[in-house]
Structure 1
Amino acid sequence: MELLIKKGFRKRYNFLFDHDLPAEKEKLQKSIKKLKDPNAIEEAKNQITWIDKQLRSNPQKNVESEILRGHIKKEREAAKAGKRPYYLKKSEIRERKLMDKYNELKEAGKLDSFMEKRRKKNASKDHRFMPYRRDGGGA
């Protein structure tokens, strides 16, 4: 039910994300150059940051809804065949999203650099938990 509500919202208000928000961002960026009041400039910058966040978060939510939509479609077909429905867990959605990202990076040829960054990040995390070497203290 929640998916349908979100899907309907996106359909009805897609023009905001495609046209209105980018246009408003451009207008704000031009107005920052003209403004002299520091409070007004800060407010405009905050508004631009909010717009950027909205535009960036949209594709991520879209990927999840696409995964769910595909799964629901398959489950409806299986239900027609007489099988019991299987609902995806959040972890499975996350896993499928990761697999999609992996395939996308592989096609674009950016997989190696992405994996290298991931390895460095994990190594630095592991390094924090390594105990310090103790000094022998003996002769």
Structure 2
Amino acid sequence: MSLPDSLARLHARAFAPTGRGWSAAEFAYLIDAPHCCLRHETYGFALSRVIAGEAELLTLATDPEHRRQGIAARLLAAVESAAMDMGADRQFLEVAADNPAARALYSAFGYAEIARRAGYYARPGGTPVDALVLSKELTP
């Protein structure tokens, strides 16, 4: 199985049933881009991009059967380090307001809310959920 296929499969598992998993084609496009950075392990991955000194965490996914084992924390630290190596001094991300585990992780890493996108995430058969835009200064 190709890396984009593996990422797409894991992403779909990680975001089911509340979100749409990204396709293998989407991952292939992103991981081939010169400004994107992928850090991955068997049960998780983080994907970011760095442009003009700013990094954006595009997605962070952990296999649901392997959560609460430090995988997401390792991947977030790795992608932050890579972003700094690529010249970023700040990282942004967005997280669903109804995702307390991810919000706790980002808070523990020093991210702070800077904006809110009302009703940004669609929920199958439910009310859309706000996206919280978080930011953190990256320091070596």
TM-score norm. by structure 2 comes to 0.23
Bigger helix fraction: 1
Bigger strand fraction: 2
Structure number with the bigger relative contact order (C-alpha 8 A, sep ≥ 6) is 2
TM-score norm. by structure 1 comes to 0.23
